[in-house]
Amino acid sequence: MISQTGIIRSYNPFNQTGLITSDLGGDIRFSAAQVSEQDSPASGSLVSFILDDSEHTLQAVKIRFI
């Protein structure tokens, strides 16, 4: 697993999923359940996260606002 930073590009509060644009390029899916803090994800927020490639698709886990 690789630690990265990026910006939340979009977030859908109804299904609690979204996309983070990584500083290294590309979009990574995330679930609000992976956000470490009480705040709700918002577009434009700067975050750090772990890139988890253990599933069939890449996903962001252990997301923290920075």
Q: Is 32 exposed, middle or buried (0-12, 13-18, 19+ CB in 10 A)?
A: middle
Q: Measured on CA atoms in the order 1, 50, 18, 38, is the torsion positive or negative?
A: positive
Phi, psi angles (nearest 5°) of residue 33: -65, -20
Tokens of 27: 């979009």
Domains of the chain, CATH where assigned = 2-65 (2.40.50.140)
pLDDT digits (tens, 9 = 90+) for 6-60: 999 999 999 999 999 999 999 999 999 999 887 889 999 999 999 988 778 889 9
What's residue 58's pLDDT? 84
Torsion angles phi and psi, residue 34, rounded to 5: -90, -5
